[in-house]
Structure 1
């Protein structure tokens, strides 16, 4: 028999439901002693009092999860606001929420009462009214003329294996309505996007989690069995798949007030309920859901209108709801909102707490291939992989749990008060999209672009269209899309004196913009016949536009500067310059003497020459490293990049020298030939011209060992691969690589196009990439140039911009001032160039054991220096074990070096290094002493010969 129907109007309805319970729990004492007595929860998602309906139920409470074929009977009357249900499995009506954005939406997603939507005028609909559509889409609330559910309810055909309740006994005096047992849809639902760790990619599962889940399921990690065939978001309705799978159902409310619900298959509840504690927990869970829904309205602030519920009672009931029936937070992670910047992935875990409690995130299982941090205040996470995979995407995952640190009745049964999910991640590799800068017909020899001071347009050198034979090459500026082309130097006189006996105009080349806002541009003025050059500075002001000469001070007496202003670069603040000099120290015993490069930093000081012409003079010029070529400034102006570091035998690497302290930091570590290098604005990425991938130096360098010997093969290797024209010069092809990866001998990605010798197709485009890559202002683009003398258009060269993705350079230096250059560096006027410094003689221990014994002798007659290294079980940093001898016999000025090697390799690789050849620095050649005695290495059956003619020819043909 059903209980008599009652009608409670206004706020008193809520008191009637919980008054006895409040008294039994001693609420008065709680309120009197609680600091929350005078406050009301400010959540806006509580159900409005006018929308509440009352229901009396009889019979035993039954846990309801999922959608199954069982039915229960209910009565409905359009003239009352109460519904009576009867039978062995009772149902409880809950207050429907009218706010989809509040925190109570999360609470209601875990409630289990059958939806009984009340009309605004006080007329309740049936328990199975239009709000319980089995298609998974709720309809909006209706008024008193609402159609009875029996006219609209479709037949449930779910075959998911959910539990089936026996049909209920019909109640008297009302219309019979069929209600699917799983239709316990809460008043408002929460979208939870769960990523299951059993899937290699993010899998979204949409599931309705009822409030009694603690009673009907195992801990959260086991509550929803996963289907390994589900790999994405499924938008089917009703629930599809086998009973062991979780399918996602997307619901869209016509009133736009309900988010997608998460539905746990009933089979999960059935499996869990077999435990001895299941019935007890089920009853308590059902009670928890009932009371929670009854008390939901009191989470909102007390109404300002007078009524039977006083503010103190409202606060009391709100306290009960927030504390004894506190709902745990849920995770609603949305993988579509996760983004990648550079090599960092960020996203929002999306935890929602019904009561707005402060939540705590815990990584319960960390990622395997990276690190993750979570902002406890916002729930935002940041993931960074341990390294970069330049060949393809990386995948990883981590598991996170969330809790509000509170408890409710279910906590006494060790049920979790929170949520947990596994978040799958993907990190895309760095990529580059090449753009050929369009130029009007007639331009030839467009070369060496650099981004201008505006950071977006390009400066470059080219011969003007329709120019007469021997015309001067000018400096132009153009946008990357080819628009805005202007000639910067046309009509501006070059004050550099012409070489005696010639009238041909000098070429303007290699523009380098000032970054100090002055609009000045540094460039080379080149003799077209000899290639000798000096530098001039373009400037424009109120007095006009001009080119101004740059003058260098004299060096030490007896030292000859054969190339006095090599590769000059301007400091970021425009006050100093970095350049190199090729210097000669005459030596009659080894003519012409010792030749080397020295890097120099000096102040750029304006002034007048003897004839009253404006000039820039380099003052306080200091040699900042004994040997090497200056390549570039760091973007903060505190250091300079120098190609001159000797770390591994046969190789030369880039280093950064702090000009204020003299501290040296290694920048690159690749084992092949490198040239021009430029750091990204944030200093994290490197564009570098290199022969990596061609195995130019690696026949010697891949058997890694310290630079015990003056094995100076770099000049000879460059000459062989450069050839006799830009169109075949493959020595300076641009690559992109993270600084840390280059240090660990990584290659990065090429910014040029070349043929893959391992395929029958020719992937090359016939253009050879050339040197001096340049970054734009934000590090998203790199400019360089390419040459092809067979180009049918006659242009012979072109400008290229590589647009980068997943390498975004952010966080540029704020302070770009040049510090005072350390006085510990010798002045240019006092410096005598020296041979490269080598480790002193003695015994050295390998990275993994063994010894290398270094000895040295000098021939008193010839001045030759003989240096020998004996390896005994010497284990290098890659685990190779070296045994044998290598030696050099160098002339006094190092112009010739006779190299001999006989080393066997075991350990991580098996092979050898052998050779008997003479290196000539003047002719840049390497000549074997006998046929077949070229410098050769073999590792695991792979044999490489230094300067193998066939390999060199193949490299030049690969463009």
Structure 2
């Protein structure tokens, strides 16, 4: 079986598990795309002088690896978009009372026009009086506009211009109020509230999704949550005691009653794909019926995106290519998925390129599998669109920025040194996608790293750029407003303030048999750490294992992990797998094994030995330590 047919089998198998999908249509043809770069304030590494910005509306920093920059969503009119920038330069230039300093949220025109002052951008948060922003947090990520056009989310704050649209000249700093968001985690309502990350506004503008993690027994536990936003003008408990938005009716997007990926039946181990355990929440579908997240792998070492229906818990697999997928946005009509993915880079193929391998070692190898996509702060993402039915046949979606010379360092639309970041965003009418990139910089190149650093050709040597892709053959649509969904997520667990973080079930130490759906089996040996707090190693021996009856897997794989700290993982990997049938694949480590170390917060990949996957005539090697 060809590599593309294996992807089809994986994608269609996941789709056929969903009763709501009756048939899978043929893949769509590629669409014409026009890409322009959106304007940003001028850049300076020193003082923001009148020569650089004669209007006196500030300068931003270079934004190395997105430091102080992130693009956001469209406003409801589809002609403005939100971004987080960092203004810089001497405080006395261009005038002593400059409000254009530090982290701020701006609006950018997408139609080539300008605001009344002549700039194509407007700073929304610059100059807001301190009394209008009491108790706010210093977080600015994931900026997102509400559908009323008068409010926006940034970090764990909500900016509100009252009766005025954010784009109007009447929306002045004096009329804008910024309110903090608080999640109560104590029984008596005291304290500063719980940690909120990966925060997203639901399309109904009433609900709020987020992730949170805690360190338990030296390991990171992460769960997704769903809640309602409720404005509290006069709180009497909790910090800060200022007007704020409280998260109420919070639901943990996990239940002990949900079948986990792996269960045991006697001496057999059973795999349950498409489980709706939401760890890292990534957003919502366009019409708001689903929550998107990074789920447990359907195939070994293949990190994919999934969507779970809020009302039923039914899960669909959004991506199936063996490369890594993460930032995602589903179109307003729910028919298209925009995803930042390493597909095309071969970054993860050395460990995920062999298809149809049950994700047994993923019980301990997921940290490494999910981290190799990076080199320090460099991402290897590019933007793809995939129709609702996912990867299948020879269809792996369409690379949005495929046009151009492709020459590294050229600054072309498809320059591989420009890497995609979170999050791509669809326009309200479905005809455009906004996304941002940054250019490879030290320490992913230069210095002790032998890879040369490219020179930025952006204005002022800017390290970031904000792009707008238009699908010129599409007709714009107008959709009705999303109606508020229920606070109740039946397959979740209502959060009780003060409750301990759930413990995910795991397979007990022992030896089990996984029976192939079509033929053969895999002998699985699971070994715990000495304190029995977690799994230390998984060893697998495959014998004529097959789930499709077309390809057959033989050989062994063994992965052992250790964690000197909760972010640092050291893996010892031994593999000698052979797959025969309509495809011929191997996955082999060097005689001494493959030894890898990676810190999930720093993303420094260091390895000794080799791990190589071959698929027919294609050979995939692991990245070098400095690449």
Per the TM alignment, residue 871 of structure 1 is displaced from its structure 2 partner at its CA by 1.2
Matched, 1:614 2:240: no
Structure-1 separation of matches of 2:613 and 2:433: 36
Secondary structure at the aligned position of 1:645 is classed as: coil
Deviations 1:218-256 (A, max 9, x none): xxxxxxxxxxxxxxxxxxxxxxxxxxxxxxxxxxxxxxx
C-alpha spacing 1:943/1:612, structure 2 compared with 1 (3 Å): closer
Matched, 1:791 2:456: yes
Residue aligning to 1:538: 159
Residue aligning to 2:316: 665
Identify which of 828, 832, 851 aligns with 2:501. 832
C-alpha spacing 1:562/1:594, structure 2 compared with 1 (3 Å): farther
Task: Check whether the contact 1:436–1:800 (CA below 8 A) recurs between aligned residues.
Answer: yes
Structure-2 separation of matches of 1:677 and 1:386: 22
Residue aligning to 2:264: none
Residue aligning to 1:633: 284
Task: Check whether the contact 1:451–1:775 (CA below 8 A) recurs between aligned residues.
Answer: yes
Structure-2 separation of matches of 1:861 and 1:509: 39
C-alpha spacing 1:940/1:745, structure 2 compared with 1 (3 Å): closer
Identify which of 867, 871, 888 aligns with 2:559. 888
Identify which of 660, 674, 682 aligns with 2:333. 682
Residue aligning to 1:602: 227
- What is the correspondence of 1:731-742 to structure 2 with a 5 Å cutoff? 731-742=380-391
Per the TM alignment, residue 889 of structure 1 is displaced from its structure 2 partner at its CA by 3.2
C-alpha spacing 1:439/1:700, structure 2 compared with 1 (3 Å): closer
Structure-2 separation of matches of 1:718 and 1:856: 21
Matched, 1:490 2:126: yes
Residue aligning to 2:5: none
C-alpha spacing 1:903/1:600, structure 2 compared with 1 (3 Å): same
Matched, 1:457 2:109: no
Q: TM-score, normalised by structure 1?
A: 0.47
- What is the correspondence of 1:339-488 to structure 2 with a 5 Å cutoff? 386-388=25-27, 390=29, 429-439=30-40, 441-442=42-43, 443-444=59-60, 445=63, 447-464=70-87, 468=91, 471-483=101-113, 484=115, 485-488=121-124
C-alpha spacing 1:562/1:912, structure 2 compared with 1 (3 Å): farther
Residue aligning to 2:428: 777
Structure with greater Cα Rg: 1
Q: TM-score, normalised by structure 2?
A: 0.69
Structure-1 separation of matches of 2:303 and 2:476: 27
Identify which of 366, 369, 374 aligns with 1:722. 374
Task: Check whether the contact 1:563–1:583 (CA below 8 A) recurs between aligned residues.
Answer: no
Task: Check whether the contact 1:669–1:745 (CA below 8 A) recurs between aligned residues.
Answer: no
Structure-2 separation of matches of 1:489 and 1:760: 35
Per the TM alignment, residue 832 of structure 1 is displaced from its structure 2 partner at its CA by 2.6
Structure-1 separation of matches of 2:136 and 2:468: 35
Per the TM alignment, residue 717 of structure 1 is displaced from its structure 2 partner at its CA by 6.0
Return 5+ residue gaps in structure 2 as ranges. Answer: 1-22, 44-58, 64-68, 93-99, 116-120, 164-173, 255-276, 442-454
C-alpha spacing 1:634/1:627, structure 2 compared with 1 (3 Å): closer
Structure-2 separation of matches of 1:576 and 1:757: 42
- Between the two proteins, the alignment pairs up a number of residues equal to 498
Per the TM alignment, residue 721 of structure 1 is displaced from its structure 2 partner at its CA by 4.7
Task: Check whether the contact 1:649–1:707 (CA below 8 A) recurs between aligned residues.
Answer: yes
Runs of 4 or more above 6 Å deviation: 754-763, 838-841
Structure-1 separation of matches of 2:223 and 2:243: 28
Residue aligning to 2:524: 854
C-alpha spacing 1:389/1:826, structure 2 compared with 1 (3 Å): closer
Deviations 1:329-357 (A, max 9, x none): xxxxxxxxxxxxxxxxxxxxxxxxxxxxx
Residue aligning to 2:215: 584
Deviations 1:796-828 (A, max 9, x none): 322211001456575846653212323552244
Identify which of 534, 542, 555 aligns with 1:871. 542
Task: Check whether the contact 2:135–2:179 (CA below 8 A) recurs between aligned residues.
Answer: no
Per the TM alignment, residue 831 of structure 1 is displaced from its structure 2 partner at its CA by 4.9
C-alpha spacing 1:605/1:659, structure 2 compared with 1 (3 Å): same
Residue aligning to 2:613: 937
Structure-1 separation of matches of 2:345 and 2:193: 31
Deviations 1:118-167 (A, max 9, x none): xxxxxxxxxxxxxxxxxxxxxxxxxxxxxxxxxxxxxxxxxxxxxxxxxx
Residue aligning to 1:947: 623
Return 5+ residue gaps in structure 1 as ranges. Answer: 1-383, 391-428, 500-505, 525-534, 588-592, 954-959
C-alpha spacing 1:489/1:662, structure 2 compared with 1 (3 Å): same
Task: Check whether the contact 1:843–1:853 (CA below 8 A) recurs between aligned residues.
Answer: yes
Per the TM alignment, residue 514 of structure 1 is displaced from its structure 2 partner at its CA by 1.3
Identify which of 491, 511, 518 aligns with 2:143. 511
Structure-2 separation of matches of 1:939 and 1:853: 24
Matched, 1:564 2:216: no
Structure-2 separation of matches of 1:496 and 1:888: 50
Matched, 1:904 2:525: no
C-alpha spacing 1:707/1:600, structure 2 compared with 1 (3 Å): same
Secondary structure at the aligned position of 2:312 is classed as: coil
Structure-1 separation of matches of 2:405 and 2:580: 31
Secondary structure at the aligned position of 2:295 is classed as: strand
Secondary structure at the aligned position of 1:473 is classed as: strand
Per the TM alignment, residue 616 of structure 1 is displaced from its structure 2 partner at its CA by 0.7
Q: Say which structure is richer in helix.
A: 1
Secondary structure at the aligned position of 1:617 is classed as: strand
C-alpha spacing 1:678/1:799, structure 2 compared with 1 (3 Å): same
Task: Check whether the contact 1:624–1:662 (CA below 8 A) recurs between aligned residues.
Answer: no
C-alpha spacing 1:564/1:744, structure 2 compared with 1 (3 Å): farther
